Chain A
Amino acid sequence: MNRREALRRVAWLMGGTLTAGTLSAVLYSCHRQPEEVTDHFTDTHKQTLTSLADIILPRTDTPGALDAGVPDFVVMMINECYPNDQQKKFLEGLNAFNDQCRQTYGEDFASCSPDQQKQHLSAVEKQVFGSTDASQNHASDALPYFYRTAKELILLGYFTSEPGATKDLVYVPVPGKYEGCIPLKPGQHAWAM
């Protein structure tokens, strides 16, 4: 390779990488300017989700949903990742969840006693996961949709959070090897991811 050619190669390469950086910076700012995200949740909604997350995954000898910021995560995910119709359905279901609670216990879910909350949750779980007599529910399918989605996001938010993945599950970022068959130790928790 002669000198002239060497220079030419370098020029191309530099040109490539330099323009790559500058252009992607421009593109990045165009494409990734934060979209208008509306927060669809009222304080009551958020309080309900906080109580729900806490009761589903409480702090024990390992951290709980609240330690992992799960309620904010659920709100953020619904606001940013779910299309309008599903956001609407989720909120409708959340309202129904609270309405049912008020009818039975005279209080919002967040204001109920822990025992009342557990009873309400058991009733809702029976409605959602239980037998097929769901037709007699006064709520439409919004309540099951809400509850299944909320439970999914609460579990996702917790087990992929730093406290959930590292203090409850066992997070090994770089295993370095694969062993296909090893004994499970008594009480051993699952690998994260």
Chain B
Amino acid sequence: MYVNTEAIKQNTYDAIVVGSGISGGWAAKELTEKGLKTLLLERGRNIRHVVDYTTATKAPWEFKHRGRLTNEMRRTHPVQSRDYPYSEFNPDFWVNDLENPYIETKRFDWFRGYHVGGRSLMWGRQSYRWSDLDFEANLRDGIGVDWPIRYKDIAPWYDYVESFAGISGNRDGLPQLPDGKFLPPMEMNCVEKVVAQRINEKFKNTPCRMIIGRCANLTVPHNGRSNCQYRNLCSRGCPYGAYFSTQSATLPAAMATGNLTLRPYSIVTEVMYDKDKRRATGVRVLDAETLQTYEFYARIIFLNASTLGTTWILLHSTSDAFPNGLGNSSGQVGHNLMDHHFRCGASGEMEGFEDQYYFGRRANGIYIPRFRNLGKEKRDYIRGFGYQGSASRQGWSRGIAEMGFGAEFKEEISRPGQWVMGLGGFGETLPYYENKVTLDYSKKDKWGLPVLNIDCEFRENEKKMREDMMNDAAEMLEAAGCKNVKTFDAGSWPGMAIHEMGTARMGRDPKTSVLNAYNQMHDVKNVFITDGACMTSSACQNPSLTYMALTARAADYAVKELKKGNI
């Protein structure tokens, strides 16, 4: 008995955070800074800041295949190979799909990184606030359930996380995209400036405005981190710590408190539940290396294992009290899966700037916030989309599909080519109950654990929206004076935008939602979920900044409740 109690004591913390990506890193920082002894569990390996970014400073010629995928990489990473993020430039940041299979009832591109920092190392860094246009959307349209929060509830937390993370941007005064606590904005290049000026002028009677992107890259030194060096190699890990990641920002802050224990190789297989106390008691961990199982205990548990990772844990945590998964009395866990739909827009050429160029590789683009279905406008779809884009001068690759060879050809394509400007939309997806994930025991992963079966597709509203996404982009570029404007729709499958969310949604009613206004499980008061699973709708903005704000807010609430003795 003595040994057993001692072991339990050894494995007992004030809080456990599952997952070390963007939201898990924030949870660890907030909880440790509030004095809680916190165990941060990560299912993958450790990646140390800077020293383990093995490709970060390599020159192009130091990559044997110059970044391209080999046959062997496609064999071991058949899903990750479906789009550009997985490449020879950072292959170790992406999961081996053979070891981590799932079932696609319908195609779903699940891009994952299992390591300390998660996708905070490879994320796109675009950081936009939501507004009440988004938080009121479900109520207004009678779709899904109403968000239990409004902009005023989260605004101070946006301030808080932006101030720490370091978000560069311009204060543009747009109601649909609230301004934040920004570091100085990055600069538009010559053609972007002109396109912005012309769009903002020609469409001045509409809400359509082109602004510089807001991103989690530092434009000035911030909190001991260096500013961006304009290499635009972010997804390899930044040796300057110039973009927000767990490693560059939240993990060192959490470590500095002396309250953090980080345990890599810890696959959480289950949240343990005490039905008498109606509280979670801790988590069960499978050590990914030794295959031993451990139990860890805590008074508060934050699940930040990523949208689908967290959902897997809930569905796999069955008990008499919760036969369908922890905190799933609503039956909503695993449902309402969303992602953004994208890869649709237009591009064109701009003449008249042949004597202009730029210096440096800006790790950011321009943004056109949502302008459709604002105010009284009613399209044949609801919600809307925003555009990301940029202008640049063509490089040598324009020579591939052109006639020509020899000395003159070589000289010509060595010089900067035509200016081109492109716009690509990111569209909101509605929360459909039918878009869902379930646990499937017919297939097992490398550790013998059942896998997710994903059944998700874009539907009519998204398809109709894509027509505007394509045509509006062309119209704007033409209005801006671009020539040879061409539209594109390269096809978009759920998962591909890597903004999956919604499978344990927040809501006001425990009968129809999983989490309350503070990301606390309706059914299990000491479990909080603040990764993408919590999202009630998807809006069209990149979601990570909102995860950060919700996490900091939930951690604040959780610790106050703990101190009041309510959990």
On A, residues with C-beta under 8 Å from B are: 1, 5, 8-9, 12-13, 16-17, 19-20, 23-24, 31, 35, 55-58, 60, 62, 64, 76-77, 80-83, 118, 121, 125-126, 129-130, 148, 151-152, 155-157, 159-162, 165, 168-169, 171-184, 187-193
Contact = CB atoms under 8 A, between A and B. Distances in A.
A169 B351 CA distance: 23
Interface in B1-15: 10
A178 B231 contact: no
A188 B396 contact: no
A55 B406 contact: yes
- How many chain B residues sit at the interface, stated as a range, is 35 or more
Contacts of B71: 35, 80-83
Contact of A180 (B188, B265, B354, B403): B188
Contacts of A160: 60-61, 66
A193 B64 CA distance: 16
Given A60-B407, A178-B186, 5 more contacts: A125-B404, A173-B57, A180-B193, A182-B359, A183-B355
A176 B415 contact: no
Given A62-B414, A129-B402, A16 B264 contact: yes
B396 A155 contact: yes
Contact of A125 (B76, B190, B403): B403
Contacts of A177: 230, 359-360
B65 A77 contact: yes
A180 B365 CA distance: 12
A177 to B, nearest CB: 6
Contact of B45 (A24, A168, A188): A24
B189 A16 contact: no
A157 B72 contact: no
B217 to A, nearest CB: 10
Given A177-B360, A190-B395, A165 B410 contact: no
B356 A183 contact: yes
B35 to A, nearest CB: 12
A190 B415 contact: yes
B356 A182 contact: yes
Interface string B384-421: 00000000010111011111111101110111110000
B400 A152 contact: yes
B360 A175 contact: yes
B512 interface: no
Contact of B289 (A19, A80, A175): A19
B69 interface: yes
A132 B402 CA distance: 15
- In the A-B complex, the 7 residue pairs with the smallest Cβ-Cβ separation, listed nearest first, are A175-B360, A178-B360, A180-B189, A180-B187, A181-B190, A56-B405, A160-B60
Contacts of A187: 415
A98 B417 CA distance: 33
Contacts of A181: 187, 189-190, 193, 356, 358
Contacts of B193: 180-181
B46 interface: yes
Interface in B539-558: none
A176 B261 contact: no
Contacts of A83: 71, 74
B361 interface: yes
